[in-house]
């Protein structure tokens, strides 16, 4: 293992997960920045691509970040014309975030690039069995989430 110096870190589950995530994302995140987006903004676009009109809180959870940070990211994306806020009829506390036309175009484009990058990545990962890695991670994530919920 060329990545870490000693015995503990290089085989520590939390390190392996963080480092794998970082290594897998590195190139694509650079591409995202080339496209003039920051990673959190790309995450918002991806969430809204899947389901338009999500609440700030949901966007924050799905994008793995804090609510107040998401509020400011949505501020910036709104100023830039990628999304608009609409208040939820029926619950005045909620703010629904919608893609603008420009936001839709950009999110589709970047999602397409993400899919292509993912294909490339998976085809490069023959050793780990590309077909199994995603189902494995899905099960891992489910288990982790239920374990975490149980602990709350």
Partner DNA sequence: TTAAAAAATATGAAATTTCATATATAATGA
Partner DNA sequence: TCATTATATATGAAATTTCATATTTTTTAA
Binding site for its own copies (CB under 8 A): 1-28, 46-47, 49-51, 54, 58, 61-62, 64, 111, 114-115, 118, 121-122, 124-125, 127-128, 133-134, 136-145, 147-148, 151
Where do contacts with DNA occur on this chain (CB under 7 A)? Answer: 33, 38, 40, 55-58, 65-69, 71-76, 85, 90-96
Please, where are the H alpha helices in 35-129? 39-50, 56-62, 67-79, 101-124
The residue among 109 and 138 lying less far from its own copies, judged by its C-beta, is 138
Query: Which residue in 39, 38, 8 sits closest to 21, CA to CA?
Result: 39
CA angle 99, 102, 106 (to 5 degrees): 90
Contacted entry of its own copies, DNA, none for residue 108, CB cut-off 5 to 8 Å set by kind:
none
SS3 (DSSP) at 90? coil
The residue among 91 and 112 lying less far from its own copies, judged by its C-beta, is 112
Between CA 48 and CA 86 the distance in angstroms is 14
The residue among 4 and 133 lying less far from DNA, judged by its C-beta, is 4
Between CA 38 and CA 107 the distance in angstroms is 13
Q: Residue 63 Cβ, how far from its own copies at the closest point, in Å?
A: 9
């Amino acid at each position: 293992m060329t990545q870490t110096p000693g015995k503990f870190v290089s085989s520590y589950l939390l390190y392996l997960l963080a480092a794998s995530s970082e290594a897998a994302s590195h190139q694509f995140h650079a591409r995202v920045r080339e496209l003039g987006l920051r990673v959190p903004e790309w995450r918002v676009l991806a969430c809204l691509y899947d389901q338009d009109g999500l609440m700030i809180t949901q966007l924050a959870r799905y994008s793995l970040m804090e609510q107040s940070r998401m509020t400011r990211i949505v501020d910036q994306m709104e100023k830039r014309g990628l999304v608009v806020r609409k208040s939820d009829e029926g619950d005045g506390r909620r703010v629904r975030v919608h893609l603008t036309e420009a936001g839709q175009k950009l999110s589709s484009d970047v999602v397409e690039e993400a899919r292509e990058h993912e294909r490339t990545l998976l085809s490069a990962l023959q050793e780990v069995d590309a077909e199994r890695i995603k189902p494995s991670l899905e099960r891992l994530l489910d288990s982790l989430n239920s374990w975490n919920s149980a602990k709350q």
